[in-house]
A and B are shown apart, each in its own frame.
Chain A
């Protein structure tokens, strides 16, 4: 069920928040041994809060569309009194004494916290194959990764365990798992959603956002957390008449798996059929953005994690490698990468003179198998991490809002993700385009068979 459908059931008293909460907890109890999407389930607190939210509705206090809606928070987002591990052994027993701003905002909007979702260690990777808390599994095929780092959030939404989850995105960590699990994920504009109480990773690359089953559900969740929110909600059966949508003719359509490219091309035809003005566009140097972004990320993460090197053995091997790389990068290189970023942001921003929106595949391939280190795309073999992030990372470096939504399935039955990108602060454009596409595709909100 969508958030709007659950809300209608609550308000018509077909179900109470308490019943909804019990059902949710039961679904998690049934599915989590198979998926490992949750690190912590907060059943006692969720039941208590459900009673309060029921009482409020009975008294005529309605907090809005999220009133009573079960929500899961990624476990690198502070929850007061509930341990927040960051997916790491080092923070395995860390219990914050305050809620992250995004948690407070969603609480105030009536959401009911059900638990904390698993992630790639320190949110620093894309497989969510966590050495300390176990591999999170993709609900569409448990032998495959859910993506990461917000893998638990995406798996939980995809499996229908919760309708809404939070995530964080430093190089694609909301959009990659959304694409691999067939759900919708929004990385808002840089700093549009507060990062207070979110464990930092890439100091100038981190974004907080949400994952849900539909674009419309994402719109409902964005409203209380976005600074200067318009409260925009996409209309039913919107068309895209007059919207200028750019389709890259370079980089984003190179080294793409055939299934993914087929779905992407079909999506381009769909936006054109919906009335959008589609323009092929040659983008400036995207490779350069990824180079600058990787140097910035390695340096910034190591500035945070190098202090724990005396507990090196408590890091997974992939994190050890990345932390060592980051601490060897000279300060001059970090600073010049940030200056390159300044130049590239200026160059790339020129595209918005002629476009409202950009569309690309979200990832070059579908979810790889757990433990796979390299992925073959056509005749090209690439490291899984580099491949998965190469289409998403540019928009962390640029700071632009980006939405991933499902646009098809591979021949193996795995979801394929589409990425829509807009100028800064133009999340409403993404939601409008995404909602029109989810109506047209007719696959958004579909859950895997259980």
Chain B
């Protein structure tokens, strides 16, 4: 999983330390959920484009 704290420190400008307790938990939660969902994406799947008729 991503080291969000290291990423936050390396960002330009860095994420202020006092925000980290509120910033990181949601990112960890979303990353964990996305990793599961990504497994089921077929290679040919395109980006959503707002149209219903894409197959």
A residues with CB within 8 A of B = 190-191, 204, 287-288, 291-292, 294-295, 298, 309-310, 312, 317, 320-321, 324-325, 327-330, 333, 335-343, 345-346, 349, 399, 424
Q: Are B33 and A349 in contact (CB under 8 A)?
A: no
Given known contacts A287-B33, A324-B19, A325-B23, A338 and B47 CB-to-CB distance under 8 angstroms: yes
- Quick check: B19 and A339 within 8 Å, CB to CB? no
A295–B27 Cα gap in the complex (Å)? 9
- Inter-subunit contact A321/B37 (CB<8 Å): no
Shortest CB-to-CB span from A93 to chain B, Å, is 25
Of residues 23 to 55 in B, which have CB atoms within 8 Å of A's CB atoms? 23, 26-27, 30-31, 33-34, 37-38, 40-42, 45-48, 50, 52, 54-55
Closest beta carbon of chain A to B35's beta carbon, Å = 9
Closest to B55 in A: A346
Task: Take A291-B34, A321-B19, A324-B15 as given contacts and tell me if A342 and B47 are in contact as well, using a CB distance cutoff of 8 Å.
Answer: yes
Interface centre among A298, A333, A399 (most CB of B within 10 A): A333
B45 touches A325 (CB 8 A): no
The chain B residues found within 8 Å of chain A, CB to CB, are 2, 4, 7-8, 11, 13, 15-16, 19, 22-23, 26-27, 30-31, 33-34, 37-38, 40-42, 45-48, 50, 52, 54-55
B38 touches A328 (CB 8 A): no
CA A87 to CA B24, docked complex, whole Å: 26
Asked whether, in the complex, the Cβ of A424 is within 8 Å of the Cβ of B37, the reply is no
Cα distance, A349 to B48, chains bound together (Å): 14
14 pairs, A vs B, C-beta closer than 8 Å: A190-B50, A204-B48, A309-B13, A321-B22, A324-B8, A324-B16, A328-B4, A330-B2, A333-B31, A336-B41, A338-B47, A340-B38, A345-B48, A349-B52
Would B34 and A295 count as touching, CB distance under 8 A? yes
Min distance, Cβ B8 to any Cβ of chain A, angstroms: 6
Do B23 and A294 touch (CB < 8 A)? no
Nearest chain A CB to B44 CB, angstrom units: 10
Nearest CB in chain B: distance from A219 CB, A: 24
Q: Which residue of B lies closest to A335 (CB)?
A: B47
Having A291-B33, A328-B4, A333-B31, one finds 9 other A-B pairs with CB under 8 Å, namely: A287-B33, A291-B34, A292-B37, A317-B19, A324-B8, A325-B23, A336-B37, A340-B41, A424-B52
| CB atoms of B8 and A337 under 8 A apart | no
A191 to B52, CA, bound (A): 13
A291/B11 in contact, CB under 8 A: no
B7: chain A residues within 8 A (beta carbon): 328
The answer, among A320, A338, A342, A424, for a CB contact under 8 Å with B54, is A342
Interface centre among A324, A330, A338 (most CB of B within 10 A): A324
Measured CA separation A335–B37 after assembly (Å): 13
B55 to chain A, nearest CB (A): 8
Write the chain B residue with the least CB distance to A329: B27
Q: How far is the CA of A328 from the CA of B4 in the complex (A)?
A: 8
* Partner of A340 from B22, B34, B54 at Cβ < 8 Å: B34
Q: How distant is the Cα of A341 from the Cα of B54 in the complex, in angstroms? A: 12
Beta-carbon contact of A295 and B30 below 8 Å? yes
Q: Which residue of A lies closest to B26 (CB)?
A: A325
Shortest CB-to-CB span from A380 to chain B, Å, is: 16
**A310: which B residues are within 8 A, CB to CB?**
13
Residues of A within 8 A of B16 (CB): 312, 320, 324
A310 to B13, CA, bound (A): 9
In the complex, which residue of chain B has the Cβ closest to the Cβ of A330? B2
Do A339 and B26 form a contact, CB below 8 Å, given A328-B8, A333-B31, A345-B48?
no
Q: Which of A191, A320, A335 has the most CB of B within 10 A?
A: A320
